[in-house]
Copies of this chain bind each other. A is one copy, B any other.
Amino acid sequence: MEDNKSVLKQWILSAIKNRNAAELKEIFETIPNIDIAEAIEDVDDVKSLLYIFKVVESEYTAEFFAELTSDQQELIISAFSDKELVDLLNESYADDIVDTLQEMPANIVSRVLKTCPKDIRGDVNRLLNYKENTAGSVMTTEYIEMKDNVTVKEAINTIREKGKDAETVYTIFVRDNKRTLIGTVDLDDLIFSKDDEVLNEIMNKDFVCCNVNDDQEDVAKMFKRYDLTAMAVVNSENKIVGIITVDDVIDIMEQEASEDIAHMAAITDMEEPYLKTPIFKLVLKCFPWILVLMVLQVFSTMILSSFEAEITKFAILAVFTPLIMDAGGNSGGQTTTMIVRSLSLDEFSGKDYGKVLFKELRVASIIGAIVGVFAFGWLMFEMSVGIVNTDSVRSLGGNYWGHLCMIAGLVGGTLFVTMLISRMVGCSLPFLAKLVKLDPAVMCGPITTTMVDIVSLITYFLLWTQIVGPILGI
């Protein structure tokens, strides 16, 4: 991969250096634009870049331009004459222009908007105004719309004329006289139909569409559910204002998955690639949660502190607290993750809470039993081979092995309770978060851990002070 990239770079640069237009054209005809753009991503010699735009056909360069880095785009726009800029903008889709502008300094933005042909400028301005992460912000305005009384033959002719400017011709959007969206026609339906049929007869009436203000995540879910390649975006009067195509949806899905993953690891949103994120932003994304989680630990600190006398008398108790707290945190995290993911994929709704809770109760009992028994055996092993220092137990006198069993049993029993509580809390909080309309991915992990820590520490020390301690005579 890396090797291909550097070979391709050399090839392109030598074609530019030798002013070999034919070779450069051949490269663009046989290699995808994005591979070319990536190969020369660190080329910042504006003359070389301009040569490409001079000799390669605009059907390739408009897309190629969209794949360049924003620094390169800025260089090129600055060096372009107004006429060249108009040509480039004419070949570009409005949503690509918006993506470019969002990274440019103000003087470039105003020059582009001034040079933009009027119809594109209106679209670009409109797209720039939609709220982030809504359907409006990801849609494009180059689509084909027809009235429902158009014949198949007329429709195909219109596509031949105007299709080159549209982002997709695979879905034609059909409207009535009032510009209300009433159906969609797929390009293959046109091919399979007779020339004199009208769109009204062949269009899909069971189409779905979304509103400009819908969340992009919901849009992606509709694409998945209905296997779409393009969807109309309508305003509140049900008039079509743009379309979203499936390649946008793939980007949305990746972005939303990254967001969920970040939230679960207690990182605030990652919008940019890691290497492009400035250091201070990385710091800002990470440190607040570390502090919040530390403050949330106040309860477990308080509990530990209140049992300080027990720890002083029998320090081995303190050796096992991290083990119990970690197991509870891990187990709660597993449950929360599963439930949050299932909720975000709409696998179940709020009314399934009872079913989930009952299922978790059974799962937790089994896991609790396994973990409890395993911990008993593992601690007996650790104590008998000397991984854990047992001098304090030996100094108690009496039945040494019986005492070890009591201690291992104390930890095992606590873990059984911990597993139960962690899964009950871990499966309940995401539902609660959904009920009060918070993002379940953000808060559930930390709060689960905090609550489980409290319950497991109290269980541990209560079992100790009420049962095991007295038996051991401490």
Interfacial residues, chain A to chain B (CB-CB below 8 A): 1-2, 28-32, 34, 156, 159-160, 163-164, 169-170, 187-188, 191-192, 205-206, 208, 223-227, 229, 246-247, 249-251, 253-254, 257-258, 260-262, 264-267, 270, 273-275, 279-280, 282-283, 286-287, 289-291, 293-295, 297-298, 300-302, 304-306, 308-309, 311-312, 315-316, 318-323, 325-327, 329-331, 333-339, 341-342, 345, 347-349, 351-352, 355-356, 359, 362-363, 366-367, 370-371, 374-375, 378, 382, 387-389, 392, 419, 449, 453
Contacts and interface: CB of A to CB of B under 8 A. Distances in A.
B319 A301 contact: yes
A206 B59 CA distance: 14
Contact of A291 (B270, B348, B371, B388): B371
Contacts of A339: 274
Nearest to A304: B319
A250 to B, nearest CB: 5
A339 B275 CA distance: 10
A83 to B, nearest CB: 26
Contacts of A306: 389
A224 B67 CA distance: 13
Per CB-CB distance, the 7 closest pairs between chain A and chain B, nearest first, are A318-B318, A257-B257, A265-B337, A227-B247, A311-B315, A274-B342, A312-B315
Contacts of A320: 301
Contact of A387 (B32, B301, B336, B349): B301
Contact of A191 (B156, B229, B295, B316): B156
Nearest to A441: B261
Contacts of A275: 342, 347-348, 352, 355-356, 359
A294 B254 contact: no
A224 B249 contact: no
Given A347-B273, A389-B306, A258 B341 contact: yes
Contact of A188 (B187, B226, B305, B312): B187
Given A318-B321, A330-B266, A345 B254 contact: yes
Given A250-B250, A293-B326, A318-B321, A191 B205 contact: no
Contact of A327 (B251, B293, B334, B388): B293
Given A253-B250, A291-B371, A301-B382, A389 B267 contact: no
A45 B91 CA distance: 57
Q: Which of A323, A330, A375 has the most CB of B within 10 A?
A: A330
Contacts of A337: 261-262, 264-265, 267
Nearest to A297: B323
A436 B227 CA distance: 38
A207 to B, nearest CB: 8
B191 A160 contact: yes
Contacts of A305: 316, 319, 387-389
Contact of A206 (B29, B163, B206): B29
Contacts of A335: 286
A331 B270 contact: no
A289 B374 CA distance: 13
Nearest to A336: B265
Given A275-B347, A318-B311, A370-B287, A169 B188 contact: yes
A366 B265 contact: no
Given A31-B206, A227-B247, A274-B342, 16 more contacts: A169-B191, A229-B229, A246-B246, A257-B260, A262-B337, A267-B337, A274-B347, A274-B348, A279-B362, A282-B363, A287-B370, A294-B375, A308-B318, A308-B392, A311-B318, A322-B325
